[in-house]
């Protein structure tokens, strides 16, 4: 593979907006550099991908999305990863292989894929085609490491943090037992069945496989958010938070702009674009907002999660660009997803995080330690705890320091393509 030669790049990702927008921004840069770019993701985003000039390939179908949206296990501390895998990933594990098989023989595809899709990319190697796999790592919680402080959600207990104070052997033992129960047990049977069918040996550890299967790893967060450690996967190129530049051209709705202009700064709420089960958060928050005399904007595309009509001083919007609304907010109540966290850190808005699973507990701890906000686990949320946390957050009456990324996407892409020559298995 020669530097400067146009590639056919497959960007494969799955999840909420925070999992997709960084890939769309990478795609924008690659397209501008003359590469052919295909984005493989949920079919719900097919129109948006096409609108931004990228080829689209589906990962899964709308029926799978509808089924996942109704599954309460998706948002469980212990059950979430397995349910996500069963509903959205396992049925489509051969999607990348089929895409690669359909390419012209002379093409050597480069696959940049979400951490959970690395096993699917590895399956594509069984097609007998040269393929370069790159894993942009969106969140530090998705790196298995005995040297990194990491926080996980435990049912009934809430957040549990593993630090360097714990002997490495003990931490590896505890982590492996948790991984066996929450990750390996629900995920490996389907993966290993397909690996057997395609002539590949079984894998014993999901994250162990991920951290060996790619040709290059790219942490897409700054070192001040999570410092690299000696046991992180390699070869590795350090990246940064990536913000989707096309969103800068989007304006807030006239209704929202009028609301923002008509009174004090509101509290902005988002439970994540993939969360269809946030009713409990809103039912707890609305009485507290009324008691505190606070205005609010609720960002969710699922309108029936909120009462209709909303109390005076509260507004529902299906969507609003973060770079436009967060500077006008007095606080942000969010779930702790990495995309929302990065946007909030860039805006300097005080954050109240209500994590329920995945990487959210780990991101919430990092937000607290940076002095950028506070958190209450979703499973422990009550009106009393929510009111105490929100009142305390607003009592400081100041914006937080902004933590903008220092690397442009163009720099990150250039570093990736400089590295994949020696990293490639071609």
192 and 76 part of one domain:
yes
380 and 410 part of one domain:
no
Q: What is the number of other CB atoms lying within 10 angstroms of the CB of residue 91?
A: 17
CA distances to 145, 163, 222 from 170, in Å: 13, 11, 29
**Count of structural domains, the chain:** 2
What residues contact 332, with CB distance under 8 A and at least 6 apart?
Answer: 267, 268, 269, 270, 326, 340, 344, 349, 350, 351, 352, 373
User: pLDDT digits over 390-419, tens only?
Assistant: 999 999 866 667 776 678 999 999 999 899
47 and 114 part of one domain:
yes
175 and 44 part of one domain:
yes
Higher pLDDT, 2 or 351: 351
Q: Is residue 228 part of a domain?
A: yes
On the question of pLDDT at 425 being above 50, the answer is: no
Q: Is residue 30 part of a domain?
A: yes
Q: For the domain that residue 293 is a member of, what is the CATH number?
A: 3.40.50.2000
Q: Is residue 388 part of a domain?
A: yes
229 and 255 part of one domain:
no
On the question of pLDDT at 426 being above 60, the answer is: no
359 and 296 part of one domain:
yes
pLDDT for position 159 = 82
413 and 287 part of one domain:
no
Q: Is residue 142 part of a domain?
A: yes
CA 406 from chain centre, in angstroms, equals: 20
State which residues form the domain around 49. 8-241+406-423
Q: Is residue 401 part of a domain?
A: no
233 and 260 part of one domain:
no
On the question of pLDDT at 2 being above 90, the answer is: no
pLDDT band at residue 16 using 50, 70 and 90 as cut-offs? confident
359 and 419 part of one domain:
no
CA distances to 70, 79, 268, 272, 358 from 83, in Å: 11, 6, 29, 17, 12
Coil, helix or strand at residue 62: helix
Q: Is residue 3 part of a domain?
A: no
Coil, helix or strand at residue 184: helix
268 and 205 part of one domain:
no
Mean pLDDT of 3-17: 83
**CA–CA gap between residue 359 and residue 338 (Å, rounded):** 8
Higher pLDDT, 164 or 349: 349
Q: Is residue 416 part of a domain?
A: yes
- 116 close to 89: Cβ distance less than 8 angstroms: yes
235 and 254 part of one domain:
no
294 and 183 part of one domain:
no
- Helices (H) then strands (E): counts for the chain: 16, 14
Q: Is residue 136 part of a domain?
A: yes
- Provide the phi-psi class of 218: left if phi over 0, else alpha when psi is between -120 and 50, else beta: beta
């Amino acid at each position: 593979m020669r530097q400067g030669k146009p590639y056919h790049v497959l960007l494969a990702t799955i999840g909420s907006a925070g999992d997709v927008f960084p890939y769309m921004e990478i795609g924008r840069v690659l397209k501008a550099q003359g590469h052919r770019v295909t984005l493989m993701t949920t079919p719900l985003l097919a129109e948006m991908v096409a609108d931004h000039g990228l080829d689209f390939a589906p990962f899964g179908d709308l029926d799978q999305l509808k089924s996942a949206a109704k599954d309460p296990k998706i948002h469980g501390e212990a059950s979430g990863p397995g349910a996500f895998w069963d509903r959205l990933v396992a049925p489509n594990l051969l999607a990348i292989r089929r895409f690669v098989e359909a390419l012209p023989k002379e093409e050597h595809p480069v696959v940049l894929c979400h951490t959970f899709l690395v096993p699917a990319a590895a399956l594509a190697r069984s097609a007998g085609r040269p393929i370069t796999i790159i894993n942009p790592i969106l969140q530090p919680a998705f790196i298995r490491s005995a040297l990194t402080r990491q926080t996980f959600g435990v049912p009934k207990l809430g957040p549990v943090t593993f630090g360097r104070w714990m002997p490495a052997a003990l931490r590896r033992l505890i982590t492996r037992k948790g991984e066996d129960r929450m990750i390996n047990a629900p995920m490996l049977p389907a993966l290993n069945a397909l690996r057997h069918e395609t002539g590949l040996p079984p894998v014993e550890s999901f994250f162990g496989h991920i951290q060996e299967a790619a040709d290059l790893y790219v942490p897409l967060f700054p070192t001040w958010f999570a410092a690299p450690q000696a046991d992180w996967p390699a070869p590795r190129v350090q990246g940064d938070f990536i913000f989707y530049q096309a969103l800068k051209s989007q304006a807030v709705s006239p209704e929202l702009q009028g609301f923002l202009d008509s009174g004090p700064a509101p509290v902005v709420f988002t439970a994540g674009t993939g969360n269809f089960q946030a009713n409990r958060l809103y039912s707890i928050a609305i009485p507290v907002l009324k008691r505190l005399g606070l205005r609010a904007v609720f960002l969710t595309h699922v309108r029936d999660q909120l009462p209709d009509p909303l109390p005076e001083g509260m507004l529902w919007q299906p969507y609003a660009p973060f770079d436009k609304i967060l500077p006008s907010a007095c606080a942000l109540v969010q779930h702790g997803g990495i995309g929302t966290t990065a946007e909030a850190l860039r805006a300097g808005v005080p954050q109240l995080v209500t994590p329920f699973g995945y990487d959210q507990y780990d991101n919430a701890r990092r937000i607290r330690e940076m002095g950028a906000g506070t958190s209450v686990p979703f499973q422990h949320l009550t009106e009393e705890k929510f009111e105490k946390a929100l009142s305390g957050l607003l009592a400081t009456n100041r914006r937080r320091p902004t933590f903008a990324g220092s690397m442009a996407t163009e720099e990150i892409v250039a570093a990736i393509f400089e590295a994949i020559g020696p990293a490639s298995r071609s």
